[in-house]
Chain A
Amino acid sequence: MTIDDVLERIRTQMNLEAETEYELLEEIRCHLDEAAADARVRGLDEDQALAQAAARFGVEEVGRELQATHEGWGTLEGIAAAALPVLFALLMRWLVFAPDGTFVGWQEMVGRPAFWAVAVIALLVPLWRFPRRRYALIGWTIFWGLSVIVIVGGAVRW
C-alpha cells in the first residue's frame, strides 16, 4: 500500500471540482506523510507506519465528510461569480448616465472618483470573497465587457 492508494480510497468517496479535490488530497497527503514518518520513528516499518496512519485518519469516513462539507460550495460561488459582474455593470451604467438618459461623456466619466471606485470595488469584492483569484479576474473582465456594452451601446435602455 502507498499513500497514493490511500488517497485514491478517499477520492472515490468524493465528487467535487477537480481543483478542489486536488487541494484536499494534497492536504491529506501532507498529513499522512507526517503521521507515517512519526510512526516510523516509533519503530514501525514503512508498510506498518502507513497502515497505522491511514487507520488513525479514518479514510472512508473522512472522504464522505469532506464531500458533505464541500458539496454545493462551487455552485454558490459560481452563482455569485456570475451575478457580481452584472451588478457592478448595472451600477456603472447608473453612474454614467444622467437621470434623463443622456450619456455624461467620456472625459467627465473617467474624471469621476465614483467611476474608479466602482471599477476597483468590482475587483476587490470577488478577490476578497472567492478563494481562487482567477474567479475574480474572470469576473472583472466580464464586468468591463458588460460595462462597455451598456455604456458604449448607449441605445441599450432598461
Chain B
Amino acid sequence: MGRSTISSDSIDQMRKGTTTLAILKLLVDADEPMHGYRMIQELEDRSEGIFAFNEGLIYPRLHQMEHDGLLNSRWEGEPGTRRRKVYVVTDRGRRQLEAEMEQWETFRRGMRLLLGLEAA
C-alpha cells in the first residue's frame, strides 16, 4: 500500500498556518543564514515530499516575518555578481518558535486523544 498523502486544499490551508513555524524551526536548526531557494529545498526534504511548496509563496511570508521582527535579512555577494538575500532568526523569532512549538504539541496531542490514537 502506498503512503497516504494529503489533498492539495488541505495542504494549502496548513501551509498558510504553518509556514511561519516551519521557517523559524528550519533556520534555528540550521543556525546559519539561508536564502529562500535553499529554504524551499530543505523544507521539501524534511517533509519527504509530502509537502510540495509553491516556491514563490515563501517570499511574501519571509517579508512579513521580517516586517514582524521575527527575521533579519541581508544581501550577500558583491555588486555585479550573483547576490543572495539571506535570512536569520531574531531573538523575537526564537521566542515565537518556542511558543508555537508548545501550542503545536498541545494541538497534536489533543487531536490524537480526540481521535482515539492515544490513551489519556
List residues of A whose CB falls within 8 A of some B CB.
23-24, 26-28, 30-31, 33-35, 56-59, 61-62, 65-66, 68-70, 73
Please judge, given known A-B contacts A24-B59, A30-B85, A65-B60, whether A58 and B54 are in contact too, CB under 8 Å.
yes
How far does the alpha carbon of A57 sit from the alpha carbon of B56 in the complex, in Å? Answer: 4
For the complex, is B113 an interface residue (Cβ under 8 Å from A)? no
The 8 Å CB contact of A31, one of B55, B60, B63, B64, is B55
Number of A-B contacts (CB under 8 A): 57
How far does the alpha carbon of A34 sit from the alpha carbon of B60 in the complex, in Å? Answer: 19
Which applies to chain A's interface (DSSP): helix, strand, loop or mixed?
helix
**Are B36 and A69 in touch, CB under 8 angstroms?**
no
For the complex, is B3 an interface residue (Cβ under 8 Å from A)? no
List residues of B whose CB falls within 8 A of some A CB.
35-37, 54-57, 59-60, 63-64, 67, 82-85
The 8 Å CB contact of B35, one of A30, A57, A58, A69, is A30
> Shortest Cβ distance from B54 into chain A, in angstroms?
5
**Are B85 and A68 in touch, CB under 8 angstroms?**
no
How far does the alpha carbon of A69 sit from the alpha carbon of B63 in the complex, in Å? Answer: 8
Q: Could you list 14 examples of A-B contacts with CB < 8 Å?
A: A23-B85, A24-B63, A27-B36, A30-B35, A30-B85, A31-B35, A31-B36, A35-B37, A57-B56, A58-B55, A61-B57, A62-B59, A65-B59, A69-B60
How far does the alpha carbon of A30 sit from the alpha carbon of B75 in the complex, in Å? Answer: 11
Which applies to chain B's interface (DSSP): helix, strand, loop or mixed?
helix
- Which residues of B lie under 8 Å from residue A61 when comparing CB positions? 54, 56-57
Please judge, given known A-B contacts A31-B37, A70-B63, whether A62 and B57 are in contact too, CB under 8 Å.
yes
How far does the alpha carbon of A105 sit from the alpha carbon of B37 in the complex, in Å? Answer: 59
A33, closest chain B residue (CB): B82
**Are A66 and B60 in touch, CB under 8 angstroms?**
yes
B38, closest chain A residue (CB): A34
- Which residues of A lie under 8 Å from residue B82 when comparing CB positions? 30, 33
- Which residues of A lie under 8 Å from residue B67 when comparing CB positions? 73
- Which residues of B lie under 8 Å from residue A26 when comparing CB positions? 83, 85
